[in-house]
Amino acid sequence: MHVAMIGTGYVGLVSGACFSEFGTDVICVDKDVSKIERLEQGIMPIYEPGLDVLVENNVKAGRLHFTTDLKKGVKDADVVFIAVGTPTRRGDGHADLSYVYAAAEEIAEAMDGFTVIVTKSTVPVGTGREVERIIRAKRPDAEFAVVSNPEFLREGSAIGDFMRPDRVVIGTSNERARAVMSDLYRPLYLIETPIVFTTRETSEMIKYAANTFLAAKITFINEIADLCEKVGADVHDVARGIGLDGRIGKKFLHPGPGYGGSCFPKDTLALVRTAQEHNSPLRIIETVVAVNDSRKKAMADRIIAACGGSVEGKTIGILGLAFKPNTDDMRDSPSLDVVPALVAAGANVRAYDPEAMEEAAKLLDGLTFCEGAFETIEGADAMVILTEWNEFRGLNLKRVKAALKSPVVVDLRNVYEPREMKENGFEYSCIGRGTIGGN
Ligand code: UDX
């Protein structure tokens, strides 16, 4: 079995490397010459734990290859994955499918023999049909099938998610393609991974429904957290108390500064637009989008309030800039709202992130990047935890206290225990852990 992976972004590169780890011959294709050159030298374009070793081992074993030549990659492939970007289109919030369709055109010219073309990028319902139309128009007699196979991996734990998924979803009504896809995912049968075979449209819908549901779950607990603060309840116990109900489930009930990243913001918006166009509005998701946007903006106000109502001339030490730990991804990160708002309010912002500072420097102005947590908070009027990297979870509190000019800690990821922080003399604020009464 030969696989060609078009696009070496997060999904493409991780999926390609993981398929090769399963023993499949994989060629990853990207137009970006320097990216491919760097990959050939073992330099990863993204930070993802374990990816460099996985790539190196499989390149050495002769199973993983890189090229800028799409035709060469596709010619011998039995399965061609389209894993190119689908960013939000400017102006209307729709997914921009121009890269997907351009890839389809090129694949059509290059494919040889029965080929299964798989959309792995998150694409709106109906995209598979359009990809098929494009290829059929170019190659009326070719034998091929267009399949939907969405990817559910999370950044930061992408390899584990790919190797041990909760499920694999495959959308096709073509029996030959179904057999090829079954074969490709055979290694997962060993660990009894459920494989959901369905139609292409349903498969495309599953991906959006999953991501929008999870975004709604996070937004729900965030609003419950705000209410907990007002009524003196603890959102962590609420999350545990409801999450133990199997119908609700305990995951994705951690409150925070609002979801970010490459998927949830883009996919919620895209599904809202699709729904509006079909005159079947998703009012819950429309609200989720609006609530999450305003939440990210409101985080700066929380910090300002914790600093006594003004940050003018004050120094704020921010720990974490990436949208989540174990990634250098800054896309739609809450820090992109928080930092400019603090700078605009006259704060002197210092920040540190273990991996995302290079990316952050391209997107944020007016702040000072530091080398580590303690350098960031030295002499600061407040310490703010914006991303829950492990190295911020067990900071020596005595040292933190000594470093800060005033003992204000704003923990937007609820990493620390309110009681312990108070006992250590901090003015500590977090999310949704109300202290009224405290009984
Ligand atoms: C997500 C989906 O989980 C994944 O299945 C899909 O393929 C891509 O989108 P990812 O964006 O990598 O993955 O990260 P995820 O861990 O899901 O977190 C997304 C955002 O939600 C982050 O900003 C995170 O901080 C936030 N989040 C997550 C919370 O605020 N609370 C939670 O309980 C969980």
3-state secondary structure (DSSP) of residue 387 = coil
The atom of ligand 1 lying closest to the CA of 388 is 25
Nearest CA to ligand 1 atom 9: 263
- Sort strands 382-385 and 315-319 into parallel, antiparallel or unpaired: parallel
- The ipTM of this complex is 0.97
Alpha-carbon distance 361 to 335, whole Å?
A: 12
CA of 259 to the centre of ligand 1 (A): 7
Name the strand (E) or helix (H) holding 146: strand 144-148
Strand ranges, E, within 13-135: 25-29, 64-67, 79-82, 115-119
pLDDT (tens, 9 = 90+) of the chain, 439 residues, equals: 999 999 999 999 999 999 999 999 999 999 999 999 999 999 999 999 999 999 999 999 999 999 999 999 999 999 999 999 988 888 888 889 999 999 999 999 999 999 999 999 889 999 999 999 999 999 999 999 999 999 999 999 999 999 999 999 999 999 999 999 999 999 999 899 999 999 999 999 999 999 999 999 999 999 999 999 999 999 999 999 999 999 999 999 999 999 999 999 999 999 999 999 999 999 999 999 999 999 999 999 999 999 999 999 999 999 999 999 999 999 999 999 999 999 999 999 999 999 999 999 999 999 999 999 999 999 999 999 999 999 999 999 999 999 999 999 999 999 999 999 999 999 999 999 976 544 4
C-alpha distances (whole Å) from 363 to each of 78, 96, 257, 316 are: 40, 22, 19, 19
Q: Is the CB of 254 under 6 A from ligand 1?
A: yes
Q: Is the CB of 48 under 6 A from ligand 1?
A: no
Alpha-carbon distance 174 to 194, whole Å?
A: 20
Say if domain 233-429 classifies as CATH 3.40.50.720: yes
Residue with tokens 């060629």: 27
pTM of the model: 0.94
The atom of ligand 1 lying closest to the CA of 222 is 30
The atom of ligand 1 lying closest to the CA of 254 is 33
Nearest CA to ligand 1 atom 13: 154
* Strands ordered across the beta sheet of 315-319: 367-369, 348-352, 315-319, 382-385, 408-411, 427-429
Residue to probe by mutation, ligand 1, list 218, 330, 331, 411, most atoms within 8 Å of CB: 218
**SS3 of the chain: helix, strand, coil, percent, to 5:** 45, 15, 40
Q: Is the CB of 430 under 6 A from ligand 1?
A: no
Q: Is the CB of 256 under 6 A from ligand 1?
A: yes
Intervals of CATH 3.40.50.720 along the chain: 2-198, 233-429
Looking at CATH, the fold of the domain delimited by 2-198 is given as Rossmann fold (3.40.50)
- Number of helices and strands in the chain (H, E): 18, 14
